[in-house]
């Protein structure tokens, strides 16, 4: 079986968890005898290609036969995406974009299609444009290569998946790692439309958790029979252990992630204040950065716990690993989390973990303590218990490690392969 996979990033170039998941999954698929043709923009050549063949979308010169724009469009029925709805744009960029758009509108296709278009590969100001161009290149790739099924990861590549499907007639599987409802308080209608279109066009939809599956069914109105949950796994091979000198005598409870509304940082702070009232010999660390960071710092100051509550800012490279090895309890109080890979990393580092019931990863973990994100008392209870009752933290550590070790991409890939088969057989 051969799969044409559309992704956006691949180790070592990772801006988010998506790349790690793609990597683990393709390795797992390869072990299951599935061949993967991975398409991504701006492949720089130093990716691990042992399991996959990576096609750099920037290197694909489009076929002569596709040079006629109208001919191409009639085959693909291409969706023009205006970049003017990009969520993070300021007025000046907007004007510049519109002007550039107007100038290039007529010549755009021919111009870019005759040469190798350089993708930036990062989520940038002309994101929507890039998504659209990526889809055009996808069409060309689809017509050049032989495969049985198409697999597209997250909304950035749905359009590419659709284009490939139209050209090749092969079934399309889309993989939902997150929805627009998980990303922020404002749902961008353009992104939502693209997501919905991808889900509707797909023959099968894979979601990373039942939580996400419910969102796909309820918020996007997708037929439940074609939505399948395949939980993420985790791959710790090639990870070296760090020796860290511990400076603080107290136990450390850690929050690690973006400091944004969805991650529930303020519940962590409230619970920390409750714990500190009864046991002052503990330190809390909030590692990461985000738009709620300053608000959280003020909250900590107001609660009068700043001598026991520390902020590290964004952690790079080894510092993440270092932070885990300094931690005695890890907490992920997410308000909404499609999956959430960091608790698995914590458990792998022998750190007992508390997660919110509102995270996808809660569906696969038995030995993490689960609380509702809003239940500060329960969260404080759990923290206190893990700090003060060695028996429970021992159980959490030992079983947690085993549990995480059993979350193998091989097994997840087997389920993904089954989804491919049902898509190919039209079931």
Partner 1 sequence: MSKSVCFYFQVHQPDRLRQFRFFDIGNDFHYFDDFANRTILHRVASRCYLPANNTLLEMIRRHKGAFKVAFSISGVAIEQFEKYAPEVIDSFKALADTGCVEFLSETSSHSLASLASEREFQKQVEEHASMMERLFGKKPVVFRNTELIYSDDIGEKVASMGYKVMLSEGAKHILGWKSPNFVYTNALNPRLKVLLRNFNLSDDIAFRFSDRGWADWPLDADKYALWLAESLKDSDIVNLFMDYETLGEHQKASTGIFEFIQALPDAVMRQGMDFCTPSEAADRYQPVAPLHVPYPISWADEERDTSAWLGNELQEEAYNKVYALEKSVLETKDDKLIKTYRMLQESDHFYYMCTKFFSDGSVHSYFNPYDTPYEAFINFMNVLSDFEIRVNEKIKENKQ
Q: Which of 310, 357, 408, 415 lies at the binding interface for partner 1 (CB under 8 A)?
A: 310
Q: Are 51 and 26 in contact (CB under 8 A)?
A: yes
d(CA 58, CA 73): 20
Distances (CA, A) of 109 to 70, 125, 164, 267, 272: 10, 20, 18, 50, 56
Site string for partner 1, 274-303 (x = CB under 8 A): ---------x-x-x-----xx--xx-xxx-
Which is closer to partner 1, CB of 293 or CB of 331? 293
Q: Nearest to residue 332, comparing CAs of 307, 312, 300, 358?
A: 358
Stretch of 37-45, 73-81, 228-236, 312-320 lying at the interface with partner 1 (CB under 8 A): 312-320
Which is closer to partner 1, CB of 297 or CB of 424? 297
d(CA 158, CA 201): 9
Residue 252, classed as helix, strand or coil, is strand
Q: 165: how many CB neighbours lie within 10 A of its CB?
A: 24
Which is closer to partner 1, CB of 45 or CB of 247? 247
Which is closer to partner 1, CB of 98 or CB of 301? 301
- Find tokens 């005695």 and name the residue: 328
* Total of chain residues touching partner 1, rule CB under 8 A: 26
Which is closer to partner 1, CB of 68 or CB of 318? 318
CB of residue 301 to partner 1, shortest distance in Å? 4
Whether the upstream peptide bond of residue 394 has omega within 30° of 0, thus cis, is: no
Q: Which of 67, 304, 402, 406 lies at the binding interface for partner 1 (CB under 8 A)?
A: 304
Stretch of 31-39, 139-147, 170-178, 306-314 lying at the interface with partner 1 (CB under 8 A): 306-314
Site for partner 1 in 136-165 (CB under 8 A): none
Distances (CA, A) of 113 to 26, 78, 108: 30, 14, 8
Q: What one-character DSSP code corresponds to residue 337?
A: B
d(CA 180, CA 189): 9
Which is closer to partner 1, CB of 272 or CB of 326? 326
Q: What one-character DSSP code corresponds to residue 63?
A: P
Q: Which of 61, 306, 395, 418 lies at the binding interface for partner 1 (CB under 8 A)?
A: 306
Which is closer to partner 1, CB of 24 or CB of 257? 257
- Sign of the C-alpha dihedral computed for residues 6, 12, 16 and 17 taken in this order: positive
Site for partner 1 in 66-125 (CB under 8 A): none
Our finding on whether 51 is near partner 1 (CB under 8 A) is: no
List, in order, residues 6 or more apart from 169 with CB less than 8 Å away.
none
Q: Are 354 and 242 in contact (CB under 8 A)?
A: no
Site string for partner 1, 226-265 (x = CB under 8 A): -------------------xxxxx----------------
Which is closer to partner 1, CB of 121 or CB of 257? 257
Site string for partner 1, 313-352 (x = CB under 8 A): x-----x--x---x--------------------------
Rule CB under 8 A: which residues touch partner 1?
245-249, 283, 285, 287, 293-294, 297-298, 300-302, 304, 306-308, 310-313, 319, 322, 326
């Amino acid at each position: 079986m051969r799969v044409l996979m559309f992704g956006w990033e691949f180790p070592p170039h990772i801006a988010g968890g998506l790349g790690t998941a793609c990597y683990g999954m393709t390795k797992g698929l390869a072990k299951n005898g599935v061949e993967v043709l991975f398409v991504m923009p701006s492949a720089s050549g130093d990716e691990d290609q042992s399991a996959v063949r990576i096609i750099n979308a920037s290197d694909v010169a489009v076929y002569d036969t596709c040079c006629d724009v109208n001919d191409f469009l009639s085959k693909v029925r291409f969706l023009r995406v205006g970049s003017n709805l990009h969520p993070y744009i300021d007025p000046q960029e907007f004007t510049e974009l519109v002007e550039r758009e107007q100038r290039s509108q007529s010549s755009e296709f021919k111009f870019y299609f005759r040469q190798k278009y350089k993708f930036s590969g990062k989520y940038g100001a002309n994101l929507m444009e890039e998504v659209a161009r990526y889809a055009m290149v996808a069409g060309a790739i689809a017509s050049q290569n032989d495969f049985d099924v198409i697999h597209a990861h997250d909304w950035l590549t749905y359009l590419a998946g659709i284009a490939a499907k139209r050209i090749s007639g092969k079934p399309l599987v889309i993989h939902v790692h997150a929805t627009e409802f998980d990303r922020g308080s404002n749902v961008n209608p353009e992104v939502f439309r693209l997501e919905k279109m991808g889900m509707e066009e797909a023959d099968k939809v894979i979601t990373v958790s039942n939580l996400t599956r419910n969102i796909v069914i309820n918020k996007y109105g997708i037929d439940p029979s074609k939505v399948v949950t395949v939980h993420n796994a985790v791959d710790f091979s090639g990870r070296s252990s760090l020796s860290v000198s511990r400076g603080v005598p107290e136990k450390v409870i850690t929050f690690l992630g973006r400091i944004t509304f969805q991650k529930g940082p303020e519940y962590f702070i409230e619970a920390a204040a409750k714990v500190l009232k009864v046991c002052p010999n503990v330190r809390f660390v909030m590692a990461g950065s985000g738009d709620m960071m300053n608000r959280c710092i003020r909250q900590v100051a107001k609660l009068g716990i700043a001598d026991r509550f520390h902020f590290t800012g964004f952690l790079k490279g080894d510092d993440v690993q270092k932070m885990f090895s300094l931690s005695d309890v890890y907490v992920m109080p997410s308000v909404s989390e499609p999956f959430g890979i960091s608790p698995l990393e914590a458990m792998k580092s022998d750190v007992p973990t508390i997660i919110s019931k509102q995270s996808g990863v809660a569906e696969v973990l038995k030995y993490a303590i689960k609380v509702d994100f809003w239940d500060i008392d329960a969260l404080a209870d759990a923290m206190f218990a893990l700090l003060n009752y060695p028996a429970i933290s021992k159980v959490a550590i030992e079983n947690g490690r085993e549990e995480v070790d059993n979350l193998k991409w091989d097994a997840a890939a087997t389920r993904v392969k089954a989804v491919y088969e049902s898509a190919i057989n039209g079931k």
